[in-house]
Structure 1
Amino acid sequence: MSERIGKIFKHFVVAAFCAIVVVTLVQVFMRYVLSSPLTWAEELSRYIFVWAIMVSIGIGVVDEAHIRLNMVTTRFGKKAQFGFYLLGQVIMVAFNVILIVYGARLSLQNLSVMSPAMKIPIGIAYAGIPVGALVVLFFLGVDTWKKTQAYRGDKND
C-alpha cells in the first residue's frame, strides 16, 4: 500500500513541476510576444514549488535519497547500527512534528492575509509545510517498520 501512496505523491510532484514549467512558459510568451504579462504567474509558480518541494522530501524518505553519514556507524555491529538508525529516525520525527506544529500555526495565522497577485490566502501556500511534514512522518513510519522487520528477521536467522 505504501508503494501506491508513494507513487501518488511522485505523480503529484511530477505534475506540479510540469505545471510550473507550463505557467512559466505561458508567462514568458505573454510578456515577450504579446506584451501582456500575467500578474499571477510567478506567484502561482512559487506556491506550487513550495508544495512540490515539501512533498518531495517524503519521497526522498521512500527512495532513501537523503544523505546519510555512515562512516562511523559502519564500524559498529548490526545492533549498534540499528540503534543509530533508530536515533536518526527519532530526530527526524521530532523535527517533522515541529514543522507540523509551527507550520500549521503559520498557515492558520495567514489565512486572512491575501496574496498580492492571485488574491488567495497566503496560508494555503504555507500549508505545504505541515502537509509535507505529515507526508514525511508517514513514510518515516513505513521505513522504520520495514527496517525493524528486516532487523528482526536478520536477528532470528
Structure 2
Amino acid sequence: MKLLGGDPKAEERFGLSIELVIANMSFVVLIAAIVWGVLSRYVTKQPATWVEEVSSMAFAWTVFVGAAEVQRRRKHVSVDLVTSLLPTRLRLGLEVLAASFVTLYCGYLCWLSLQQAIISNSAHTSMLGIPLSVGYAGPTLGFLFMAVRSLQQILRRPRLA
C-alpha cells in the first residue's frame, strides 16, 4: 500500500498514513526518552545526560510531522464565519486560493528548513554526537508532507461547471 499519494480510500479504511506512522514513532521515542530520564535520575545513581538531546529532536519530529497528519485530515483550526455566508462558487474559489497559499508557503518553509539541515549537518550534539541535521530533518519532512497534502486537496476539490 502506498501511503503518501496513495489511494485515499485505503488511507481512510486503514487509518494509516506515512505522517501518522512517523509522528507516532517519534512520539514513542520522546516518551521513552523522558521516562528513562526520570527513572535514571530518581532510581539510579547516574542520570542519563543524553535525554535532552534525544527528546528535543523527537519533539521536533512529533510536532512538525504531526502537523502534517492534521493537514492530511483537514483538521487544522479554521474560522468560517464570513466564508460560510458567501455564495458557493466564491467560497470554493477562496478555498482553492487559501490552499494554494498554504502549498506555496509550506514548500518555501520546507526549502528553508532543508537549507538549515544541510548547514547544521557538520555540527553534532555534545553527548551522543548526533548531527544536528537529524533534528532539523523533522520540520523539513513535516513541511514537505503539508505542501504535498495541500496540493492533493486542491487537485481533489470538486469542480463547479
TM-score by length of 2: 0.86
5+ residue gaps, structure 1: none
Q: Does 1:43 align with 2:53?
A: yes
**Aligned alpha-carbon RMSD (Å):** 1.7
Aligned to 1:112: 122
Report the secondary structure of 1:120's partner residue.
Answer: coil
1:71 paired with 2:81, answer yes
Q: SS at 2:152's partner residue?
A: helix
Distance between the aligned counterparts of 1:76 and 1:29, measured in 2? Answer: 56
Counterparts of 1:23 and 1:130, CA distance in 2:
23
2:134: which partner in 1? 124
Corresponding residue to 2:101 among 91, 107, 117? 91
CA contact (8 A) 2:50 2:127 kept: yes
Structure (1/2) with the larger helix percentage = 1
Contact 1:39-1:117 at 8 Å conserved across structures: yes
Counterpart in 2 of 1:145? 155
Per the TM alignment, residue 19 of structure 1 is displaced from its structure 2 partner at its CA by 1.8
The structural deviation recorded for 1:21 is 1.2
Corresponding letter in the other structure for 1:66: H
> What's the offset of the Cα at 1:82?
0.7
1:8 correspondence with 2:8: no
The 3 A distance-change label for structure 1 pair 32 and 118 is: same
What secondary structure is seen at the aligned counterpart in 1 of 2:17?
A: helix
Tell me the matched-pair count: 151
Indicate yes or no: 2:29 matched with 1:19: yes
TM-score (norm 1): 0.88
Distance of 2:22 and 2:45 partners within structure 1: 32
- Structure 2 CA distance for partners of 1:61 and 1:119, relative to 1, 3 Å: same
The superposition leaves residues 47-105 of structure 1 with CA deviations (integer Å, 9 ceiling, x where unpaired) of: 01101111111111121110112111111111101111011112111211221221111
SS in 2 for 1:110: helix
CA contact (8 A) 2:20 2:69 kept: yes
Higher deviation after alignment, 16-25 or 43-52: 16-25
Could you tell me the percent identity over the aligned residues? Answer: 21
| CA shift for structure 1 position 12 | 2.1
Aligned to 2:39: 29
- 1:56 match: secondary structure: helix
Q: Which residue of 1 aligns with 2:3?
A: none
Q: Which runs of 5+ in 2 are unaligned?
A: 1-5
Corresponding residue number in structure 1 for 2:68: 58
Structure 1 residues 126 and 109: CA distance shift in structure 2, 3 A: same
